[in-house]
Chains A and B, each alone.
Chain A
């Protein structure tokens, strides 16, 4: 497995990618570039230079500046429209020619570092439903809602454009109902649910393989072949997530995982702390997500899930699940059976 990963302070994002888009949007809103670049080491002339790289932390700072300076409820949604397919060279070409939703999402997930450096997308099948859910990569807690809005609007906007029709996405948010609900309604649609455990967008799995009008398999493989292998890396947290997801049934320890990452347990702990999290929280998140998938896909009861995840008994699992998500599995099942509003 490829364990190359980036952290919040790693400077690897070309400034002429996302940062240049933010600058262009700031200009279109008649905002001074100083207001956008405040508090970063960047200058306007750097943005279009080919060798300037920014870190996810810089990117977050730019977003925070833009949000504060424009003070408009639609900023995240408008930025989302610009971000995908974006102007990222071959990766954008590949997205533009994607033959189907599945292929587009596959590119998005594989090249997360370039396309969505702050938030890691994951695709899971919950029964007949395809669920695209997002986990933190490098986010300061106050900005999560903004970045989630932005990335969901980016994917919804791109897929609507490339499919030539609005896809029947249903959205769930790990946040309370926002006061600017109208922006959600217009940019994402009416199928919204708040106070959910996941930040996710889902649709019937049949849509994944419906051919898209501009699709060209040859163009996609040619474009992807030209993308450097180094761009396939994921964030530290996303890499950890994928690693734990594969081994969720044995619940690896911090020591085992840090050995696999090739660093000491102490260093690994420090890296996680720098991202505002710790090992147990990440493991619990993965186990909670797997539980949701087991409930949706197989309709497992507590006994079966406990056995699958390697718990001693159902009670033990029930208590743990409550600790992970704040809900007992039965309350969650009840919530899931209610139609979304």
Chain B
């Protein structure tokens, strides 16, 4: 993996420079007697340096390359070297007529400046990513809640969102909609789980394209999607349900091998007045009460 190599390379560089720094102090400076060592300073400066090095590695391992990544990592690396030089100061006395150690220590504020610029651009980057996440999340983020296949939030996130919506806008009517793909299990049986996942991804895009910015789409479980519609009356929710069923039925989905899959969906909705658990139980029961039409026998061959 390239990110791992990048981290390994950075770790090697940081180690080399730190060792070089120690050597520099050891050759040009005079060692302090053990009695003059200030342990608190050594621990806090050395600790800051080690932590900064760890942050550099985490940033490089966790982020794709690019301007923001380099600014953050570069800033932290400079802070690491600056504090490391500071720490060396505790062990060696550098003659007053030499200035190189001051330059080394000046790396700390320069690093902080670079890090700040990096954070500013990171914030801008975040705004554009938020736009991408619209309708997939609302108000708070929890990365553990995202489904790997569809990149939608899961049922747990949905339940928390329903509760939050009820708490934030007790006067407003919100609606919850469940949408279930008809005969989805046959897609898995006939074309494999990979094709099933591709169909779920297609449906996800379709739903995202057909909803308002304030709506939230979650993958409830399996082939069942849940959509939270804030500030929506029953009639409007019913229209949305009908509309989503129409667009799903119009989807011309093809497998990777080019086979056309007929898709249709059932949707039910209710006003989100009760607890998320009872609301979802009620909607699940409503979906089960309206089973899809039996597949024509030809599908079985």
- Footprint of B on A, CB under 8 Å? 25, 28-29, 72-74, 77-78, 81-82, 157, 160-161, 164-166, 179-183, 185-187, 189-190, 213-214
| A28 proximity list for chain B (CB < 8 A) | 192-194, 197
B294 x A164 contact (CB < 8 A): yes
B109 at the interface (CB under 8 A from A): no
Residue pair B220, A81 in contact (C-beta under 8 Å): no
Taking a contact as CB atoms under 8 Å apart, the answer to whether A164 and B193 are in contact is no
| Contact with A190, one of B197, B281, B297 (Cβ below 8 angstroms) | B281
Task: Take A161-B185, A161-B186 as given contacts and tell me if A186 and B220 are in contact as well, using a CB distance cutoff of 8 Å.
Answer: yes
CB proximity to A under 8 Å, residues B283-299: 284-285, 288, 291, 294-295, 297
Most B CB within 10 A of own CB, among A72, A77, A166, A190: A190
For B155, B180, B224, B291, the residue with the greatest tally of chain A CB atoms inside 10 Å of its CB is B155
Alpha-carbon distance between A233 and B242 when the two chains are bound, in angstroms: 53
Contact B193 A25 (CB under 8 A): yes
B242-301 contacts to A, CB under 8 A, are 277, 280-281, 284-285, 288, 291, 294-295, 297, 300
Q: Give B residues with C-beta under 8 Å from A.
A: 147-148, 154-156, 180, 185-186, 188-189, 192-194, 197, 220-224, 277, 280-281, 284-285, 288, 291, 294-295, 297, 300
A186:B224 contact, CB within 8 angstroms: yes
Q: Please, which residues of chain A bring their CB within 8 A of the CB of B297?
A: 164, 213
Give the residue name and chain of the B residue nearest to A183 (CB).
B221
Are A190 and B284 within 8 A (Cβ)?
yes
Contacts of A72 in B (CB 8 A): 147-148
Per the bound structure, the CA–CA distance linking A77 and B184 in Å amounts to 14
B289 and chain A: residue at smallest CB distance: A190
Contacts of A157 in B (CB 8 A): 185
> Which of chain A's residues has its CB closest to B281's CB?
A190
User: CA separation between A298 and B297, bound complex, in Å?
Assistant: 41
Taking A164-B295, A164-B297 as known contacts, 11 extra A-B pairs with beta carbons closer than 8 A to each other, sorted by chain A number, are A28-B192, A28-B194, A81-B188, A81-B189, A182-B155, A182-B280, A186-B180, A186-B221, A186-B284, A189-B288, A190-B284
Residues of chain B with a CB closer than 8 A to A81's CB: 185, 188-189, 193
Measured CA separation A72–B197 after assembly (Å)? 14
Report the 6 A-B pairs with minimum CB-CB distance, sorted nearest first. A182-B155, A186-B222, A182-B221, A186-B221, A185-B284, A28-B193
The answer to whether A74 touches B300 (Cβ under 8 A) is no
Shortest distance in angstroms between B220's beta carbon and chain A's nearest beta carbon? 5
**In whole Å, how far is A186's beta carbon from the nearest beta carbon of chain B?**
4
Could you say which residues of chain A place their CB within 8 Å of the CB of B288?
A: 189-190
Residues of B within 8 A of A161 (CB): 185-186, 189
Please tell me which one of the listed residues B281, B285, B291 contacts residue A165 in the complex, with CB atoms under 8 A apart.
Answer: B291
A183 to chain B, nearest CB (A): 5
Q: Please indicate the chain A residues that have their CB under 8 angstroms from the CB of B194 in the complex.
A: 28
A residues near B294, Cβ cutoff 8 Å: 164-165
Return the chain B residue nearest A187 by Cβ.
B222
The reply to whether B224 and A160 contact each other, CB–CB distance below 8 Å, is no
Tell me whether A182 and B220 are in contact in the complex, defined as CB-CB below 8 angstroms, given that A28-B192, A213-B300 are known contacts.
yes
**Known contacts A161-B189, A185-B284, A190-B281; A74/B148 CB under 8 A:** no
Cβ contacts under 8 Å, A74 to chain B: 221-222
| Contacting residues, chain A, for B285 (C-beta < 8 A) | 190
Q: Are B223 and A186 in contact (CB under 8 A)?
A: yes
**Closest A residue by C-beta to B282:** A190
| Closest B residue, CB atoms, query A185 | B284
- The answer to whether B222 and A77 have CB atoms under 8 Å apart is yes
CA distance A185 to B180 in the complex (A): 12
**Is B300's CB under 8 angstroms from A73's CB?**
no
Which residues of the other chain, B, contact A25 by a CB distance below 8 angstroms? 193
B61–chain A nearest beta-carbon distance, Å: 18
